[in-house]
Every structure is written in structure tokens, then in C-alpha cells.
Amino acid sequence: MAGGVWDGSLKRLITANPQHFISWLLPEAQLLHEVPEHLNRAIDADLLYAVAYHDYPILCHIEIQRRRDPKMARRAWEYNTVITCKYNQLTWSFILYLKKESNIEDSPMVLRVPNGGPEIHRFHYVNVKLWEVPTESLRDLGSFGLLPLLPLTREGGKPDVVEEVITEINGLQDLKMRNDLLTISMTLASLALDKQSDREWLRRRFLMYQDILHDTEIYQLIMQEGLEKGVQQGLEKGVQQGLEKGVQQAEQQEIQDLRQLLLDFVRARFVALLPFATTAVEHISNKDVLQRLILAVGTARDAQEAQEILSHAL
């Protein structure tokens, strides 16, 4: 099941525009309806849709991966088998990889008896490595729901492609859809831009839209998901500190809550920076600045980048 800020953003993007993704992954297929992804007590797939493929009903199963998982093929096989048996329909599995990784197991996955024994299972699935997808091929589909993926494609990891995405999305008439797509686009773009200068450019673009993005449901979900992940990681490291929840009426209490949330992100992801971050946040009393730092630290690639983010805020 997908986890993390980027994985969750893509899952929400697909959920909002499923036909756009079905048409990309399975050309000429038509979406029929969403299928519950909860399979049993132990298994939840990421996304599952009933589609008509050349007028034949099948299920389209999608898993989202930020990083390589050596057990991913076996997991997909398990999910596919359970789905096929539960719904009594052929199931086509797709694994979407967001960021370039090596040694990803290719289809098919073959299980055979060792020492020259017979083949028992052969599972075919589709790996979609976004960094190998030609940017133009995705652009030519003309689907606004796919626009946020452009920076993750083969020629897409640069500011002019991100700017193209922002411009196209700004042309949409549906205000809620436009704002949600902007939020998701900037979140995924933070994964696509590798150069420090490009990431600084993205932060400046984010600041231009911060008032709009902060109010979107997608942004709040991303923040909540990041918080939950941070708490889980912190507990795994033995950190026994509760997070105060709810909105506080007093201005000073609200600022203190944001400071604490930022420190929890640092503790969960870059514990060595905690002393520096603790000193730094004491000098920050602006709520907007603290909110931006939470998102920036939550999506920082490494401790050095996180430290630079905190240093620039002083």
C-alpha cells in the first residue's frame, strides 16, 4: 500500500481523475467503477478499478512505489491472486514507480520448484517507471489529470516543465480542481527537481501560491499524512512525546503547536538536526513561516537540505 507524501499525492491524483490514468495505462479501456481496495484483514491494495477493455470486463489494479521494494513483485502477485479470486475477474496489475531506482524486478515473476523442478506460477504485470516515460508521450494525451506527472517523466525534471504544468493547470475553470492539482503538482515536483537551485525556484513558486494551497483539502491531507508518518517513525525510535491536537484559540499556543510539529518532523527524519532546529524555531514567531517550513522539511531530501531550509528562515 502506498505511503508517504509523494505516494499519497499520486494516489489522490488518480482517485480524482481515474479515467485519465486508465486511458494512459490501458488505451481504449473505459472506466466502469471503483472497486473497494480492502481485500481482507491483512491486505489493502492501493487502487482498484473495474474497466471494460475492448468490451471485456477486467479489473485494473494499481500500486504506487516511491522506492524499490525487493518484494514488490511477490506482493503484487499476492494482491492480484486475492483480487482475482475475490471478484472472480481477470486482474491486470500495474506498479507505478515515481523516482529512478535500479534493480527493479521485471515481469514476469516466475516461481518454480528448485533444482530444475517444474514451473508452478508465472505472473505477468506492468512496471511503469516514470523516469523512462517520454515527456512528450504523456503531454500528447492531453489529459489535465496527468499534468502533475510531467516533471517525473524522462525529460521533465526541470523548472520550465514545472512552469508549463502550472500554466496549464491555471487555465482550468474548475477552481477546486485547479487548486488541488496545483498542490499535487508542486508536491510531486519536489521529488523531480534534483538541483538545489531548481528546488529553491520551486519554493519561491510555492510561496506565490501559499494562500491558495494552504486552504485546499489536498494540502491538509498531505500535511496530516506527513504528521502521521512522522509520529510513527518517531515512536519506532523510542520517542515518547505526544502531539497536542486541535486548534488552539490563543495565538501564542498556536505558534507553539506549529513549532512542536516542525520539531517532530525533524526528529522523525533528521534526528541529528534536532538541537539546531530547536534553537532555530525559538526565533520564529510567524505562523505562515512555520507552516512553510513544516512542508519544506517534510519533503527535504536529506539532512543538509533540511538544515539549509532552517538556516534561510532565520
> Within a domain: residue 144?
no
- For residues 287-297, give the mean pLDDT: 80
Average pLDDT, the chain: 82
**Residue where a domain stops, chosen among 215, 237, 259:** 215
Q: Which residue has the higher pLDDT, 45 or 241?
A: 45
**Residue where a domain stops, chosen among 215, 231, 247:** 215
Are residue 36 and residue 89 in the same domain, yes or no?
yes
- Counting the structural domains of the chain, the total is 3
Of 20-34, 85-99, 213-227, which range is least confident?
213-227
Are residue 284 and residue 303 in the same domain, yes or no?
yes
Give residue 232's pLDDT band: very low, low, confident or very high (50, 70, 90).
very low
Give the CATH number, domain containing residue 107: 3.40.1350
Supply the range of the domain harboring residue 21: 5-132
- For residues 302-309, give the mean pLDDT: 84
Name residue, grid cell 475492448: 54
Are residue 210 and residue 104 in the same domain, yes or no?
no
Of 40-54, 60-74, 265-279, which range is least confident?
265-279
- For residues 10-19, give the mean pLDDT: 90
pLDDT at 219: 59
Q: Which residue has the higher pLDDT, 231 or 70?
A: 70
- CB atoms near residue 116 (< 10 Å): 6
Are residue 117 and residue 177 in the same domain, yes or no?
no
Q: Is the pTM of this model over 0.95?
A: no
Are residue 184 and residue 290 in the same domain, yes or no?
no
- For residues 278-301, give the mean pLDDT: 81
- For residues 40-56, give the mean pLDDT: 89
Asked if residues 145 and 16 have their Cβ atoms less than 8 Å apart, the reply is yes
C-alpha cell at 231: 509520529
Instruction: State how far the Cα of 142 lies from the Cα of 296, in Å rounded to an integer.
Output: 31
Are residue 185 and residue 227 in the same domain, yes or no?
no
Q: Could you please report the per-residue DSSP string of 103-157?
A: -PPPSPEEEE-TTT--EEEEE--EEEEGGGS-HHHHHTT--GGGGGGGGGSTT--
Instruction: State how far the Cα of 139 lies from the Cα of 149, in Å rounded to an integer.
Output: 9
Residues 152-211: pLDDT tens digits? Answer: 999 999 999 999 999 999 899 888 888 888 888 888 888 888 888 888 888 888 777 766
Residues 211-223: pLDDT tens digits? Answer: 666 666 555 555 5
Asked if residues 281 and 297 have their Cβ atoms less than 8 Å apart, the reply is no
pLDDT at 216: 61
Of 105-114, 245-254, 298-307, which range is least confident?
245-254
Cβ-based neighbours of 312, under 8 Å, separated by 6 or more: none
* Ramachandran class of 3: left when φ > 0, alpha when ψ lies in -120 to 50, beta otherwise: beta
- For residues 10-38, give the mean pLDDT: 92
C-alpha 149, offset from chain centre: 11
Residues 106-152: pLDDT tens digits? Answer: 999 999 998 888 999 999 999 999 999 999 999 999 999 999 999 99
